[in-house]
Amino acid sequence: MSEAPHAKQQQTGKSATKSSIPAQKMEEPFPSPDLLEITKWHIDRYDRLRSSTSVRASVLLSANAVLASGSLILVNYHLQTSKDSRTLWIELVFSALAVLTLSLILRSLWSSINAIAARKTTRVLHSTEIPSRFLFNWGDTLKSVDGHSDFARKIKDLSLESILGHATAELWTDILQHSQRHRHLRSAINTFRYCVMALLGLAAFTFAAALR
């Protein structure tokens, strides 16, 4: 008689444990039309980000051009003021500072140019990772068709799933391109900071040497 209540208690405990665990429902995937709209939205977003990166890199190019002009003016000023009496250690230090400043400026200029238009395309760097981007990329589209009639025929034969696949490949390309250009932009900005400090050091040494 004493075993029956104990058995019922165990069954009650098991049922309570089972009922306390929430049922896990599998989330339904997005339908293809919604996924295509989301992909298109992100493609437009990364296009805007790349445009913003190019604009900032262009501004940095102009700033580096100003620093380069300032460096050349300082070099010319030093040559004009020290042509009568030149000291070896002063000339060595000035030359080192001038070369360092101009080298940093050229490095920042090169990174800025790569942020606008990289020397190597994404297709070259990631040739095995990017499938065809027909209709979303002019290069892949021209490679896939032979004239207008072939282009029109392939457009008619496209399914929603294939369009989504091409759009996904284009989005992945945009992500890689933005990452590459943003990396070059950050490198240009960091180098530009050193350019400013080097130019200030060159200017201070140039004027100190002129007053000596």
So what's the pLDDT on residue 204? Answer: 94
- Cα separation, 47 vs 52, whole angstroms: 9
First and final CA of the chain: distance in angstroms?
Answer: 112
Q: What is the pTM of this model?
A: 0.74
Higher pLDDT, 195 or 11: 195
- Cα separation, 209 vs 70, whole angstroms: 17
Average pLDDT, the chain: 84
**Cβ pair 117, 185 in contact under 8 A:** no
Cα dihedral sign, 106-111-115-121: positive
- Cα separation, 65 vs 205, whole angstroms: 21
pLDDT (tens digit per residue) in 131-182 = 888 888 888 888 889 999 999 999 999 999 999 999 998 898 889 888 889 9
**Cβ pair 188, 111 in contact under 8 A:** yes
So what's the pLDDT on residue 201? Answer: 96
pLDDT, average across residues 22-49: 78
